[in-house]
């Protein structure tokens, strides 16, 4: 998911969350320890309507060094693209892996492997962007609060509670793992206009 517009909303939510203590983290990562010797690579991001963006991704079963390298590359690619979320299929890897960091100073990298949303409450409307649709933004209605279960890069299971932009971002990225895109939530007319513009390579609006 793209950073710019969502981040403005996120800022206001963040100050709200400060008072309500809603941003619960039940797990913290130590993703980078032991892997400082691996060079990070930026990966090309597939643009809609690439057909691989519509495929369902496979579960990750091999928690090897390669997975850790891919996770780091995903995070780096997300940061370099000014994104707050990225999924493996967007870099043409059909595996169930997403990365998320909604913090303005990029200080909260999260990698979720085989994520499953186990609870969702209270619908909300956010303007979403997607790194596979550069420059396009659409209002999408999704649950405001979620609980997600996933594995870390070592295969250890954890549960994460999220709300607001973070919850929206996780849901957006989880959708990618099933070949679902944010334009699937907008009207057919609107989706068709975006489709035509993306196919022609035109800029939005």
Positions that interact with Zn ion (CB under 5 A):
130
Output 151 or 182, the one with its CB closest to Zn ion. Answer: 182
Count of CB atoms within 10 A of residue 109's CB?
19
- Helix, strand, coil shares of the chain, percent, nearest 5, are 35, 25, 40
Which pair of structure tokens corresponds to residue 150? 């996933």
CB of 156 to Zn ion, least distance (A): 26
CB of 132 to Zn ion, least distance (A): 5
């496979």: which residue's tokens? 58
Output 48 or 114, the one with its CB closest to Zn ion. Answer: 48
CB of 65 to Zn ion, least distance (A): 27
Ranked by CB distance to Zn ion, the top (closest) residue is: 130
Output 5 or 63, the one with its CB closest to Zn ion. Answer: 5
Contacts of 26 (CB under 8 A, 6+ apart): 158, 159, 160, 161
What are the start-end ranges of the H helices in the chain?
A: 4-20, 65-80, 164-177, 188-200
Q: What is the dihedral of CA 6, 205, 142, 24, to 10 degrees?
A: -10
Give the Å distances, CA to CA, from 107 to 31, 81, 103. Answer: 13, 16, 6
Q: Does the annotation mark 173 as catalytic?
A: yes
CB of 182 to Zn ion, least distance (A): 6
Helix (H, G, I), strand (E, B) or coil at 163: strand
Output 67 or 130, the one with its CB closest to Zn ion. Answer: 130
Torsional class of 135: left (φ above 0), alpha (ψ -120 to 50), beta (otherwise): left
CB of 49 to Zn ion, least distance (A): 13
Give the Å distances, CA to CA, from 87 to 69, 71, 114, 122. Answer: 14, 10, 11, 25
Output 17 or 94, the one with its CB closest to Zn ion. Answer: 94
One of 72, 128, 163, 173 is an active-site residue; which one?
Answer: 173
Q: Where in the sequence numbering do the catalytic residues fall?
A: 173
């Amino acid at each position: 998911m793209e950073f710019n517009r969502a981040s403005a909303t996120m800022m206001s939510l963040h100050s709200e969350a400060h008072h309500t203590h809603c941003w619960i983290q039940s797990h913290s990562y130590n993703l980078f320890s032991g892997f400082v010797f691996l060079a990070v690579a930026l990966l090309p991001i597939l643009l809609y309507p690439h057909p691989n963006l519509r495929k369902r991704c496979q579960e990750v079963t091999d928690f090897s060094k390669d997975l850790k390298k891919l996770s780091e590359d995903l995070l780096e690619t997300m940061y370099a693209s000014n994104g707050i979320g990225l999924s493996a299929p967007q870099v043409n890897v059909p595996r169930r892996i997403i990365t998320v960091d909604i913090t303005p100073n990029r200080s909260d990298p999260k990698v979720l492997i085989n994520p499953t949303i186990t609870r969702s409450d209270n619908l909300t409307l956010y303007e979403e962007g997607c790194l596979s649709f550069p420059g396009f933004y659409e209002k999408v209605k999704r649950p405001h609060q979620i609980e997600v279960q996933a594995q870390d890069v070592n295969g250890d299971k954890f549960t994460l509670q999220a709300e607001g932009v973070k919850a929206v971002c996780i849901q957006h990225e989880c959708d990618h793992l099933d070949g679902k895109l944010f334009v699937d939530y907008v009207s057919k007319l609107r989706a068709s206009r975006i489709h035509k513009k993306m196919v022609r390579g035109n800029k939005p609006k």
